[in-house]
Chains A and B, each alone.
Chain A
Amino acid sequence: MSKTLVRLAAGLFAATMIAGAAHAKTLVYCSEGSPEGFDPALYTAGTTFDATSKNVFNKLAEFDRGTTKIIPGLAESWDISEDGTEYTFHLRKGVTFHTTDFFTPTRDFNADDVLFSFNRQLKADHPMHEYVGGASWEYFNGMSMPDLIKEIVKVDDYTVKFVLNRPEAPMIANLAMDFASILSKEFADQLQAEGKAEMLNQQPVGTGPFKFVAYQKDAVIRYKAHEDYWGGKAAIDDLVFAITPDASVRYQKLKAGECHIMPYPNPADIAAMKTDAAINLMEQEGLNVGYLAYNTKVAPFDKVEVRKALNKAINKQAILDAVFQGAGKVAVAPIPPTIWSYNADLKDDTYEPDVAKKMLEDAGVTDLSMKLWAMPVQRPYNPNARRMAELIQADWAAVGVKAEIVSYEWGEYLKRSKDEDRDGAVLLGWTGDNGDPDNFLAVLLGCDAVGGSNRSQWCYKPFEDLIQKAKVVSDTAERTKLYEDAQVVFKEQAPWATIAHSVVFEPVRKEVSDYKIDPFGGHIFYGVDLK
């Protein structure tokens, strides 16, 4: 009798094992390129973040998947001092780092890992500051962290305090960004002891939902679900990035079932994807803005009426139809509607060529010839700048403005468009980093950014006062009001013609469930399941 029971139990056990094995769920993502490396703090490209920070690492604070809302990550909670210069983080306990072929952690995540992850970027004398040649910590620097952070203090094993040089309301949002990923100090120490610190950029060890298994450059990256993930094990067991650079080929692979999810479809394939029974075409407004920046320091663009008149001469709807082919929305404000504090009451400049012509005449501007800069590359906020420039050129010709389209190689374009005495209007755009309005308004229109990322060279005191105040106030309701007002000032002064916010499309096979498009443009596979 007992023998039969044992046999039965063994049989049942074997059956469940087989069933379990048969149901090992593998999600294949046709990614668009190889990551530059596996230490997200060294890089700024989305492709690298997908392969690292979005799936392998955690940050102190995280963005709620599919939104720009900030939720606790490796920090369970945080307190901000009255004056807004001290951020105290209470760390989550019982969080494990990945156990892999190349590393077995002996301790849980704690304050040392936080200090390590930031100090290596902050302190020039940190042993890991230059652990690979040319480590420049570009994002950390780009977000002004070295000026901002005075010091990071370990209060105890599970409490860390960031002391700032000045109040900075977007700080928590900054710490949810990719460069703020938390790495294992223990692993870094081990690599250093073995004299191969550079492996930290090739074999990531994090606390995130997926652990790294293997990478073959330009071919495939393999991950496994982190069994002990603090948020619960991922629904899928294996995650594979099949690196497929060509968008048409990605679509063929998706159709053939060789992958489940693909990014960046060809605009020309969208119509076919919509009718494909095996594919669910997801879409979401991108966290971006495409704009045309006048040089407000150079006549006649220093006059508000001239800028307004040129704006009124542009038929934006025609641009949306021709250039975005439905994958975009007319932009009214300098921030996209998905960001909090977006001012929905703003009125856009209406398309009235006759009025525009009259306004130009009234401003004393006749026979205006100018340059119109068109980017040489496709960007999320502008799929075809050349075509867009041609349409604007034609619109302006109708009101008597002669525009000459100019373009340069991309690096050169970015550089030359910053010149303060630059001639003409520049087509460019921006994709948000952290979902904070400051990340658009201060970066693109603030006085500090003149000669840099402020391509309209626009420094306007009433606007600047509003955004500077909003930077130091920590109350969100108050900040919202300030930013709403700032957008009104922006619209009155018209340093840009706001053109479009693009819509992001992501085709996903029908068997994929619970996938959400990340507003930041990342690809996150925790929470995704296969039917």
Chain B
Amino acid sequence: MLRFLLNRIAVLLPTFIGVTIISFLFIRLLPGDPIELLAGERGVTPERHAQLMHMMGFDKPIWQQYLTFVGDVLQGDLGQSIVTKRPVFDEFFTLFPATLELSICAIIFAIAIGLPAGIIAAVRRGSVFDHTVMATALTGYSMPIFWWGLLLIIVFSGTLGWTPVSGRISFMFFFDQVTGFMLIDSLLSGQKGAFASAVEHLILPTIVLGTIPLAVIARQTRSAMLEVLGEDYVRTARAKGLPPSRVIGLHALRNAMIPVITTIGLQVGVLLAGAILTETIFSWPGVGKWMIDSVSRRDYPAVQGGLLLIASLVMLVNLTVDILYGLINPRIRHRR
């Protein structure tokens, strides 16, 4: 197992270096520069432009800028945002808890519904339930997030008035952020109704962000289960007279879970992409919206630092998934 773990980590190192190069180059390959964008219609004189480029260090050769960037990263410094003039690291981690909280809720929502739906659909293959689940999953998978979010807001917040339109909590509640997780902070604040307000605000964004992962998980679970249910050992288990709950719950499910867990791990990337749109619609103060704003303002340090942090976090999640995978699947653990 240790060897397996070391192998995985060794593979991550070149990936990490690759990520620093891509995150650094990506924003510089886009046309337009931050200074013209800051100046707008008024514009800046060429002299002033040169002066500002020098001030921000963008006048140096690109490889030199890259080396400075990597050197700073190794010392834990991601630079300072051109726009807010605050450290990128601080900006990111002020906003990240909001994205994390929403993503965790979305993935729990997706698993809680997607997994049982997929299992039941597989067990009752060909039934009306199966067809309904698969058709719904296909629709969910193809749903444009922006449209879906606005639709839910208009129906549930606008017309029915059941849920708040956007934000993380009602402005009536005002307390210090301790953990950055609104569900926890609202409880810690001790203010009556704060927790309920935080939950209410989470409902729609969770559904919107969770829809695509839910659809993927349901479909993946169904097909993995179908494959396993046809295996000899399942037939054997049935033949020895085990109750169906044990056959499915123990023998089939555990084996079907292997590809499903990989799928869930891969959804992390999907969640982050979805978070960009979901956060914009629901005025959710997370890193997705922040990244988009930074790209459109050509805020080089914010984009390269933010991308690097996100990529590192995704790598960390994938590593965790790999380890879990190993724990579930002895073949991997013991592979030489």
Contacts and interface: CB of A to CB of B under 8 A. Distances in A.
A431 B42 CA distance: 10
Interface string A428-456: 11110000000000010000000011000
B82 A218 contact: no
A253 B80 contact: no
Given A217-B91, A252-B154, A258-B164, A409 B171 contact: no
B177 interface: yes
Given A133-B80, A411-B36, A453-B43, A217 B85 contact: no
Contacts of B86: 37, 198, 202
B282 A249 contact: yes
Contact of B153 (A28, A42, A136, A252): A252
B168 interface: yes
A138 B38 contact: yes
B39 A430 contact: no
B95 A218 contact: yes
B166 A253 contact: yes
B94 interface: yes
B30 A409 contact: yes
Nearest to A202: B86
Interface stretch (A169-177, A363-371, A412-420): A412-420
Contacts of A219: 98, 167-168, 283, 285
Interface string A189-225: 0000000001001100000000000101111101000
B245 interface: no
A136 B32 CA distance: 19
Interface string B153-191: 110011001001111100100100100000000000000
Interface residues of A, number: 53
Interface string B19-48: 000000000001111101111111111001
Contact of A216 (B36, B85, B280, B285): B285
Interface string A444-470: 000000001100000000000000000
Interface in A236-270: 240, 242-246, 248-249, 252-253, 255-256, 258
A218 B32 contact: no
A220 B170 CA distance: 10
A132 interface: yes
Contacts of B168: 219
A141 interface: yes
B75 interface: no
A134 B285 contact: no
B222 interface: no
A407 to B, nearest CB: 11
A26 B37 CA distance: 35
Nearest to B42: A142
Interface string A30-65: 000100110000101000000000000000000000
A230 interface: no
Interface string B263-304: 000000000000000001111111001100100001000000
A430 B40 CA distance: 10
11 contacts: A42-B85, A44-B40, A216-B285, A219-B98, A219-B168, A252-B153, A252-B166, A409-B30, A412-B36, A414-B41, A430-B41
Given A249-B150, A255-B158, 9 more contacts: A42-B85, A136-B52, A138-B38, A216-B285, A218-B283, A219-B285, A242-B167, A410-B37, A414-B39
